[in-house]
Amino acid sequence: MPPVCTLTLERTSLPQVKTSVTAQAGEQAVDEGEQAKSDEYSDVMSQQMGSALSYRHEKGINFADILDDLMVGSCLQTPEDVDRLADEQRVGSIVNLQEDTDMAFFDLDLSPIRERCMARGDVAHNRHPIRDFDPFDLRMRLEGAVQLVADQVKALEGSGKKVYIHCTAGLGRAPATALAYMYWCRGFSLQDAQETFYARRPCCPRIQSIRQATVDLLSEGSKLTPVTISLSRPFLATTLQIAGLDVGWGQHIDLEWNSKLHRYETTRSLPPGRYPYKFIMDGRWTYSADHPTFTEGDHTNNYVEVAAPSSDPAVVEMRERLLSENGQLTDSEREKLQAHFRV
Protein backbone atom coordinates (compact mmCIF):
# COMPACT_ATOMS: atom_id res chain seq x y z
CA MET A 1 0.00 0.00 0.00
CA PRO A 2 1.21 3.56 -0.57
CA PRO A 3 2.66 5.68 2.24
CA VAL A 4 0.78 8.35 4.10
CA CYS A 5 1.76 12.00 4.48
CA THR A 6 2.99 13.10 7.88
CA LEU A 7 1.20 16.45 8.17
CA THR A 8 -0.94 16.54 11.29
CA LEU A 9 -3.66 19.14 11.79
CA GLU A 10 -5.19 20.29 15.06
CA ARG A 11 -8.84 19.85 14.14
CA THR A 12 -10.12 21.55 17.30
CA SER A 13 -8.53 24.90 16.34
CA LEU A 14 -10.08 25.07 12.88
CA PRO A 15 -13.77 25.87 13.24
CA GLN A 16 -14.19 28.74 10.79
CA VAL A 17 -15.48 26.92 7.72
CA LYS A 18 -18.61 28.17 5.97
CA THR A 19 -20.85 25.46 4.62
CA SER A 20 -23.80 25.65 2.24
CA VAL A 21 -26.21 22.73 2.54
CA THR A 22 -29.15 22.42 0.20
CA ALA A 23 -32.21 21.91 2.36
CA GLN A 24 -35.97 22.38 2.31
CA ALA A 25 -38.59 22.31 5.08
CA GLY A 26 -38.28 19.01 6.89
CA GLU A 27 -35.55 16.42 6.52
CA GLN A 28 -34.80 15.23 3.00
CA ALA A 29 -33.46 11.84 2.11
CA VAL A 30 -29.89 12.01 0.82
CA ASP A 31 -29.19 10.12 -2.35
CA GLU A 32 -27.46 6.87 -1.40
CA GLY A 33 -25.42 6.94 -4.59
CA GLU A 34 -23.88 10.30 -3.67
CA GLN A 35 -23.21 9.07 -0.16
CA ALA A 36 -21.42 6.02 -1.53
CA LYS A 37 -19.32 8.17 -3.86
CA SER A 38 -18.44 10.51 -1.00
CA ASP A 39 -17.41 7.52 1.10
CA GLU A 40 -15.27 6.15 -1.72
CA TYR A 41 -13.63 9.50 -2.41
CA SER A 42 -12.95 10.11 1.29
CA ASP A 43 -11.40 6.65 1.67
CA VAL A 44 -9.05 7.29 -1.24
CA MET A 45 -8.23 10.77 0.07
CA SER A 46 -7.45 9.38 3.51
CA GLN A 47 -5.17 6.76 2.03
CA GLN A 48 -3.41 9.02 -0.44
CA MET A 49 -3.07 12.12 1.76
CA GLY A 50 -2.74 10.48 5.16
CA SER A 51 -5.54 12.60 6.59
CA ALA A 52 -8.64 11.83 8.63
CA LEU A 53 -10.52 14.59 6.80
CA SER A 54 -13.52 13.63 4.71
CA TYR A 55 -15.57 15.17 1.91
CA ARG A 56 -19.37 14.98 1.78
CA HIS A 57 -20.38 15.92 -1.74
CA GLU A 58 -24.06 15.47 -0.94
CA LYS A 59 -23.93 18.37 1.52
CA GLY A 60 -23.07 20.91 -1.14
CA ILE A 61 -20.37 23.49 -1.56
CA ASN A 62 -18.22 24.51 1.43
CA PHE A 63 -15.59 27.23 1.61
CA ALA A 64 -13.55 29.59 3.76
CA ASP A 65 -12.14 33.10 3.47
CA ILE A 66 -8.34 32.97 3.50
CA LEU A 67 -7.45 36.58 2.65
CA ASP A 68 -9.65 39.58 2.00
CA ASP A 69 -9.50 38.83 -1.72
CA LEU A 70 -9.05 35.06 -1.68
CA MET A 71 -11.35 32.13 -0.86
CA VAL A 72 -10.76 28.38 -1.04
CA GLY A 73 -13.34 25.62 -1.07
CA SER A 74 -14.95 22.63 -2.69
CA CYS A 75 -16.32 22.31 -6.21
CA LEU A 76 -19.35 24.14 -7.53
CA GLN A 77 -22.20 21.72 -8.22
CA THR A 78 -25.00 23.88 -9.64
CA PRO A 79 -25.50 27.30 -11.27
CA GLU A 80 -27.00 28.41 -7.97
CA ASP A 81 -23.56 27.99 -6.41
CA VAL A 82 -22.31 30.69 -8.78
CA ASP A 83 -25.05 33.02 -7.53
CA ARG A 84 -24.28 32.22 -3.90
CA LEU A 85 -20.58 32.94 -4.31
CA ALA A 86 -21.14 36.12 -6.31
CA ASP A 87 -24.06 37.61 -4.38
CA GLU A 88 -23.23 36.55 -0.82
CA GLN A 89 -19.43 36.21 -0.88
CA ARG A 90 -18.46 38.88 -3.46
CA VAL A 91 -16.62 36.38 -5.67
CA GLY A 92 -15.65 37.84 -9.04
CA SER A 93 -13.47 35.05 -10.39
CA ILE A 94 -13.46 31.25 -10.05
CA VAL A 95 -10.32 29.14 -10.55
CA ASN A 96 -11.23 25.49 -11.10
CA LEU A 97 -8.37 22.99 -10.63
CA GLN A 98 -10.42 19.85 -11.36
CA GLU A 99 -9.77 17.46 -14.22
CA ASP A 100 -12.69 16.21 -16.32
CA THR A 101 -12.43 12.82 -14.60
CA ASP A 102 -12.92 14.46 -11.19
CA MET A 103 -16.20 16.00 -12.29
CA ALA A 104 -17.32 12.82 -14.04
CA PHE A 105 -16.86 10.85 -10.80
CA PHE A 106 -19.56 12.95 -9.13
CA ASP A 107 -21.64 13.35 -12.31
CA LEU A 108 -20.98 17.07 -12.42
CA ASP A 109 -21.87 19.01 -15.57
CA LEU A 110 -19.67 22.08 -15.89
CA SER A 111 -21.60 23.63 -18.80
CA PRO A 112 -24.51 25.11 -16.76
CA ILE A 113 -22.04 26.58 -14.28
CA ARG A 114 -19.98 28.27 -16.99
CA GLU A 115 -23.15 29.44 -18.74
CA ARG A 116 -24.37 31.06 -15.51
CA CYS A 117 -21.04 32.86 -15.15
CA MET A 118 -21.30 34.14 -18.72
CA ALA A 119 -24.96 35.15 -18.31
CA ARG A 120 -24.20 37.12 -15.16
CA GLY A 121 -21.20 38.83 -16.70
CA ASP A 122 -19.64 39.60 -13.32
CA VAL A 123 -17.97 36.25 -12.55
CA ALA A 124 -15.07 34.90 -14.60
CA HIS A 125 -14.65 31.13 -14.80
CA ASN A 126 -11.12 29.77 -15.31
CA ARG A 127 -9.69 26.25 -15.42
CA HIS A 128 -6.19 24.95 -14.71
CA PRO A 129 -6.48 21.16 -14.21
CA ILE A 130 -4.12 19.44 -11.77
CA ARG A 131 -4.25 15.68 -11.20
CA ASP A 132 -5.79 14.75 -7.85
CA PHE A 133 -3.57 13.13 -5.18
CA ASP A 134 -0.49 13.53 -7.39
CA PRO A 135 2.38 15.50 -5.79
CA PHE A 136 4.47 15.41 -8.97
CA ASP A 137 1.73 16.83 -11.17
CA LEU A 138 1.06 19.48 -8.53
CA ARG A 139 4.74 20.42 -8.53
CA MET A 140 4.85 20.73 -12.32
CA ARG A 141 1.55 22.63 -12.71
CA LEU A 142 1.69 24.83 -9.62
CA GLU A 143 3.47 27.72 -11.34
CA GLY A 144 0.69 28.04 -13.94
CA ALA A 145 -2.02 27.80 -11.29
CA VAL A 146 -0.45 30.54 -9.18
CA GLN A 147 0.04 32.77 -12.21
CA LEU A 148 -3.66 32.38 -13.03
CA VAL A 149 -4.63 33.30 -9.47
CA ALA A 150 -2.25 36.27 -9.44
CA ASP A 151 -3.68 37.54 -12.73
CA GLN A 152 -7.26 37.18 -11.47
CA VAL A 153 -6.50 38.96 -8.19
CA LYS A 154 -4.85 41.79 -10.12
CA ALA A 155 -7.82 42.04 -12.51
CA LEU A 156 -10.18 42.43 -9.53
CA GLU A 157 -7.97 44.88 -7.65
CA GLY A 158 -9.97 47.77 -6.22
CA SER A 159 -13.34 46.11 -6.90
CA GLY A 160 -13.76 44.58 -3.47
CA LYS A 161 -14.27 41.18 -5.11
CA LYS A 162 -12.55 37.88 -4.38
CA VAL A 163 -10.98 35.00 -6.27
CA TYR A 164 -12.39 31.57 -5.40
CA ILE A 165 -9.98 28.62 -5.83
CA HIS A 166 -11.44 25.14 -5.76
CA CYS A 167 -10.58 21.53 -6.56
CA THR A 168 -12.99 18.72 -5.67
CA ALA A 169 -13.00 18.74 -1.87
CA GLY A 170 -10.94 21.90 -1.41
CA LEU A 171 -8.51 20.04 0.83
CA GLY A 172 -5.46 19.38 -1.37
CA ARG A 173 -4.84 21.08 -4.71
CA ALA A 174 -6.73 24.31 -3.97
CA PRO A 175 -5.07 24.90 -0.57
CA ALA A 176 -1.65 24.13 -2.10
CA THR A 177 -2.26 26.70 -4.84
CA ALA A 178 -3.43 29.32 -2.34
CA LEU A 179 -0.44 28.66 -0.07
CA ALA A 180 2.00 28.93 -2.98
CA TYR A 181 0.34 32.19 -4.07
CA MET A 182 0.65 33.60 -0.55
CA TYR A 183 4.28 32.44 -0.39
CA TRP A 184 5.42 33.55 -3.84
CA CYS A 185 3.31 36.66 -4.41
CA ARG A 186 2.03 38.10 -1.13
CA GLY A 187 5.10 38.22 1.10
CA PHE A 188 4.22 35.36 3.47
CA SER A 189 6.81 32.87 4.57
CA LEU A 190 5.59 29.35 3.83
CA GLN A 191 5.27 28.70 7.55
CA ASP A 192 3.21 31.87 8.12
CA ALA A 193 1.03 31.08 5.12
CA GLN A 194 0.28 27.64 6.55
CA GLU A 195 -0.54 29.05 9.98
CA THR A 196 -2.87 31.63 8.46
CA PHE A 197 -4.56 29.08 6.21
CA TYR A 198 -4.96 26.31 8.77
CA ALA A 199 -6.62 28.76 11.17
CA ARG A 200 -9.42 29.09 8.63
CA ARG A 201 -9.74 25.73 6.89
CA PRO A 202 -8.65 22.15 7.68
CA CYS A 203 -6.72 20.58 4.82
CA CYS A 204 -3.75 18.40 3.91
CA PRO A 205 -1.89 20.03 1.00
CA ARG A 206 1.37 18.70 -0.41
CA ILE A 207 3.80 21.16 1.20
CA GLN A 208 6.87 19.41 -0.22
CA SER A 209 5.52 19.96 -3.73
CA ILE A 210 5.37 23.69 -3.00
CA ARG A 211 8.96 23.62 -1.76
CA GLN A 212 10.13 21.72 -4.84
CA ALA A 213 8.26 24.04 -7.19
CA THR A 214 9.86 27.01 -5.44
CA VAL A 215 13.32 25.63 -6.08
CA ASP A 216 12.37 24.87 -9.69
CA LEU A 217 11.38 28.51 -10.21
CA LEU A 218 14.60 29.84 -8.70
CA SER A 219 16.98 27.48 -10.49
CA GLU A 220 17.20 25.04 -13.35
CA GLY A 221 15.47 22.52 -11.12
CA SER A 222 12.81 21.60 -13.63
CA LYS A 223 15.37 20.18 -16.07
CA LEU A 224 14.45 16.54 -16.71
CA THR A 225 16.78 13.56 -16.34
CA PRO A 226 15.97 10.09 -17.81
CA VAL A 227 15.77 7.54 -14.98
CA THR A 228 15.36 3.81 -15.54
CA ILE A 229 13.83 1.54 -12.89
CA SER A 230 14.34 -2.16 -13.53
CA LEU A 231 13.46 -5.52 -12.02
CA SER A 232 15.36 -8.68 -12.82
CA ARG A 233 13.54 -11.09 -10.52
CA PRO A 234 9.78 -11.09 -11.13
CA PHE A 235 9.15 -13.98 -8.71
CA LEU A 236 6.87 -15.78 -11.17
CA ALA A 237 4.58 -12.76 -11.48
CA THR A 238 2.86 -12.40 -14.85
CA THR A 239 1.93 -8.71 -14.49
CA LEU A 240 4.62 -6.26 -13.37
CA GLN A 241 3.85 -2.61 -12.69
CA ILE A 242 5.20 0.30 -10.70
CA ALA A 243 3.40 3.09 -8.82
CA GLY A 244 4.72 6.33 -7.41
CA LEU A 245 7.54 8.18 -9.18
CA ASP A 246 5.96 10.94 -11.31
CA VAL A 247 2.45 9.44 -11.62
CA GLY A 248 1.50 9.16 -7.96
CA TRP A 249 0.07 6.17 -6.12
CA GLY A 250 -3.22 6.17 -7.98
CA GLN A 251 -1.75 5.19 -11.36
CA HIS A 252 0.27 2.18 -12.46
CA ILE A 253 3.04 1.99 -15.07
CA ASP A 254 3.63 -1.28 -16.91
CA LEU A 255 7.20 -2.60 -16.87
CA GLU A 256 8.39 -3.76 -20.29
CA TRP A 257 10.73 -6.67 -20.97
CA ASN A 258 14.23 -5.70 -22.20
CA SER A 259 15.50 -8.77 -24.02
CA LYS A 260 19.05 -7.41 -24.32
CA LEU A 261 19.47 -6.78 -20.61
CA HIS A 262 17.12 -9.60 -19.51
CA ARG A 263 15.06 -7.48 -17.18
CA TYR A 264 11.75 -5.64 -16.87
CA GLU A 265 12.07 -1.87 -16.86
CA THR A 266 10.53 1.56 -17.37
CA THR A 267 12.21 4.89 -18.05
CA ARG A 268 10.82 8.18 -16.76
CA SER A 269 12.09 11.75 -17.26
CA LEU A 270 12.22 13.40 -13.84
CA PRO A 271 13.32 16.74 -12.38
CA PRO A 272 15.61 16.75 -9.31
CA GLY A 273 14.19 15.27 -6.16
CA ARG A 274 13.52 12.03 -4.29
CA TYR A 275 10.77 9.83 -5.73
CA PRO A 276 9.23 6.97 -3.74
CA TYR A 277 7.80 4.02 -5.61
CA LYS A 278 6.54 0.48 -5.19
CA PHE A 279 6.38 -2.53 -7.47
CA ILE A 280 3.03 -4.18 -8.11
CA MET A 281 3.27 -7.90 -8.93
CA ASP A 282 0.01 -9.48 -10.03
CA GLY A 283 -1.82 -6.80 -8.06
CA ARG A 284 0.30 -7.19 -4.90
CA TRP A 285 2.16 -4.11 -3.70
CA THR A 286 5.75 -4.80 -2.68
CA TYR A 287 9.27 -3.37 -2.69
CA SER A 288 12.60 -4.67 -3.92
CA ALA A 289 15.57 -5.23 -1.62
CA ASP A 290 17.79 -4.66 -4.68
CA HIS A 291 16.81 -0.96 -4.74
CA PRO A 292 17.24 1.81 -2.12
CA THR A 293 14.46 1.73 0.49
CA PHE A 294 13.08 3.90 3.27
CA THR A 295 10.49 3.23 5.94
CA GLU A 296 7.62 5.55 6.76
CA GLY A 297 5.32 4.33 9.48
CA ASP A 298 4.35 0.76 8.64
CA HIS A 299 5.31 1.11 4.97
CA THR A 300 8.61 0.27 3.29
CA ASN A 301 9.08 1.87 -0.13
CA ASN A 302 11.78 2.04 -2.74
CA TYR A 303 13.03 5.42 -3.90
CA VAL A 304 15.24 7.00 -6.53
CA GLU A 305 17.19 10.21 -6.01
CA VAL A 306 17.59 12.50 -9.02
CA ALA A 307 20.51 14.87 -8.59
CA ALA A 308 20.26 18.59 -9.33
CA PRO A 309 21.96 19.68 -12.57
CA SER A 310 24.01 22.43 -10.91
CA SER A 311 26.92 21.89 -8.50
CA ASP A 312 27.28 25.63 -7.88
CA PRO A 313 27.63 25.99 -4.08
CA ALA A 314 25.15 28.88 -4.03
CA VAL A 315 22.51 26.82 -5.88
CA VAL A 316 23.16 23.79 -3.67
CA GLU A 317 22.73 25.95 -0.56
CA MET A 318 19.52 27.45 -1.92
CA ARG A 319 18.07 24.03 -2.69
CA GLU A 320 18.93 22.60 0.72
CA ARG A 321 17.57 25.68 2.51
CA LEU A 322 14.26 25.94 0.65
CA LEU A 323 13.58 22.21 0.72
CA SER A 324 14.02 22.11 4.49
CA GLU A 325 11.06 22.38 6.85
CA ASN A 326 11.85 25.92 8.01
CA GLY A 327 13.60 27.26 4.91
CA GLN A 328 13.20 30.98 4.26
CA LEU A 329 13.43 33.00 1.06
CA THR A 330 16.10 35.68 0.84
CA ASP A 331 15.02 39.20 -0.13
CA SER A 332 16.47 38.76 -3.62
CA GLU A 333 14.71 35.41 -4.09
CA ARG A 334 11.38 36.92 -3.06
CA GLU A 335 11.89 39.83 -5.46
CA LYS A 336 12.67 37.36 -8.24
CA LEU A 337 9.47 35.42 -7.59
CA GLN A 338 7.28 38.50 -7.43
CA ALA A 339 8.79 39.81 -10.66
CA HIS A 340 8.18 36.43 -12.28
CA PHE A 341 4.48 36.53 -11.37
CA ARG A 342 4.21 40.24 -12.22
CA VAL A 343 2.92 41.31 -8.80
Interval 88-130: pLDDT, tens: 999 999 999 999 999 999 999 999 999 999 999 999 999 999 9
What CATH number is associated with residue 301? Answer: 2.60.40.10
Q: Are residue 164 and residue 239 in the same domain, yes or no?
A: no
Residue 60: inside a domain, yes or no? yes
* Residue 117: per-residue pLDDT: 98
Q: If you average pLDDT over residues 197-209, what whole number do you get?
A: 95
- The parent domain of residue 278 ranges over 225-306
- Give pTM, 2 decimals: 0.84
* Residue 20: per-residue pLDDT: 42
* Residue 195: per-residue pLDDT: 97
Q: Are residue 57 and residue 139 in the same domain, yes or no?
A: yes
Residue 13 pLDDT > 60: no
Q: Are residue 74 and residue 129 in the same domain, yes or no?
A: yes
Q: If you average pLDDT over residues 11-16, what whole number do you get?
A: 31
For residue 101, report the phi and psi dihedrals to the nearest 5 degrees.
Answer: -65, -30
* Residue 2: per-residue pLDDT: 42
Provide the percentage of residues in the chain whose pLDDT is more than 90.
75
> pLDDT, tens digit, for every residue of 237-266?
889 999 999 988 888 999 999 999 999 999
Mean pLDDT of the chain: 89
Q: Are residue 119 and residue 211 in the same domain, yes or no?
A: yes
Q: Are residue 229 and residue 208 in the same domain, yes or no?
A: no
For the chain, what is the domain count?
A: 2
Q: Are residue 121 and residue 262 in the same domain, yes or no?
A: no
* Residue 126: per-residue pLDDT: 98
Q: Are residue 244 and residue 186 in the same domain, yes or no?
A: no
Characterize 94-123 residue by residue with b for buried, 16 or more Cβ atoms within 10 angstroms of its Cβ, and e for exposed.
bbbbbbeebbebbebeeeebbebbeeeeeb
> Is 167 one of the catalytic residues?
yes
Q: Are residue 61 and residue 165 in the same domain, yes or no?
A: yes
Given the residues 167, 185, 203, 204, the one annotated as active site: 167
**Alpha helical stretches, state H, the chain:** 32-49, 79-83, 89, 100-105, 110-120, 135-155, 173-185, 190-198, 207-218, 313-323, 331-340
Residue 323: inside a domain, yes or no? no
Residue 52: inside a domain, yes or no? yes
* Residue 8: per-residue pLDDT: 26
> pLDDT, tens digit, for every residue of 302-333?
999 998 877 789 988 999 999 999 999 999 99
> pLDDT, tens digit, for every residue of 28-50?
445 788 899 999 999 989 877 87
Alpha-carbon distance 216 to 28, whole Å?
50
> pLDDT, tens digit, for every residue of 50-80?
778 899 999 999 999 999 999 999 999 999 9
Residue 11 pLDDT > 80: no
Residue 81: inside a domain, yes or no? yes
